[in-house]
Amino acid sequence: MSTPSPTLPGGTWTLGDLTVTRFGYGAMQLAGPRVMGPPADRDGALAVLREAVDLGITHIDTSDAYGPRVTNELIREALHPYPAPLHIVTKVGAARDEQGGWPVARRPEELRRQVQDNLTSLRLDVLDLVNLRLGDAGGPRPGSPAEAFGTLAELRQQGLIRHLGLSNATEEQVTEARGIAPVVCVQNMYNLAHRHDDKLIDQLAADGIAYVPFFPLGGFTPLQSSALSAVAARRETTPMSVALAWLLQRSPNILLIPGTSSTAHLRENIAGAQLALSPEDLAELDGIGR
């Protein structure tokens, strides 16, 4: 359940038994172009990670597929040994090919290897939270998650993982996975302009499960909308700030993981997300994704 945080907008949320700030940080875009290879500015990437923790963020989202290995190694270099309040959330279920594609890799032996690779690259004995990435690069796809989620549930039983989540998942897949092991979060694409998961978010909120939107700012294609620009202008802030504040106000189970490679943007996003949107703002924004 969410509680106030003295430092960051949105307060905190408890994932299983892990308390995290609702304002987190997504590390994907710290890798090179198309999430392949090292960053152009390695010191800058390390500085962003350290700044995130210094500002009080206790939730970092990553994957060993980013780079691959690049963002996990940056996180380890910047932050290991990790401060106790910090929780690193990773994901498995996809590999990388030489063209930068994200081929599905969800066979039991592939998942076991990915969990081991994350433990090694992050230098951890136990992963706090592992999301199983379903679907493919085009988004969620129907199909049973039972074999793959069952494999992760076994690794959890063995003590290598504390908590499990799903990514790119349909409502049916969430229901089926919850019959196998507890699901503490769902990470799907969602933002002001992509609201396919509205119903799922409300269902998860009722069950105390977090919803973690990826691409909260539009990802590789920044959010653009005349209504968003109009509200930002009226409130004398940026469209990014309005988009983040809207997500925090949308539902208490929404956790933010906006990505940035800039400490200035990181600070700007935290400050901007404090904005309290008025009923008039919300009504205008509500038209965007409908």
Ligand X SMILES: NC(=O)c1ccc[n+]([C@@H]2O[C@H](COP(=O)([O-])OP(=O)(O)OC[C@H]3O[C@@H](n4cnc5c(N)ncnc54)[C@H](OP(=O)(O)O)[C@@H]3O)[C@@H](O)[C@H]2O)c1
Nearer Cβ to ligand X (4/57): 57
C-beta of 279: minimal distance to ligand X in Å? 25
Q: How far is the CB of 260 from ligand X (least distance, A)?
A: 3
Query: Least distance to ligand X from the beta carbon of 218, Å?
Result: 5
> In angstroms, what is the C-alpha Rg of the chain?
18
- Residue 215 identity (one-letter amino acid): F
Of 130 and 217, the one with the shorter C-beta distance to ligand X is 217
Nearby residues of 68 by Cβ (< 8 Å), 6 or more positions away: 95, 96
Least Å distance between CB 28 and ligand X? 3
User: Which residues, including other chains, have CB under 8 Å from residue 112's CB and lie 6 or more apart?
Assistant: 151, 155
Q: Which residues pair with 88 in a beta bridge?
A: 60
Is residue 25 part of the annotated active site? The answer reads no
- Going by the DSSP 8-state scheme, the letter that residue 80 receives in this structure is P
Which residues contact ligand X (rule: CB under 6 A)?
26-29, 61, 91, 133, 167-168, 187, 214-219, 240, 257-262, 265, 268-269
Q: Which is nearer to ligand X, 41 or 280 (CB)?
A: 41
181 vs 193, beta carbon nearer ligand X = 193
Catalytic hit among 66, 82, 190, 211: 66
CB burial of residue 80 (10 Å; 0-12, 13-18, 19+) = exposed
Q: Which residues are catalytic?
A: 66
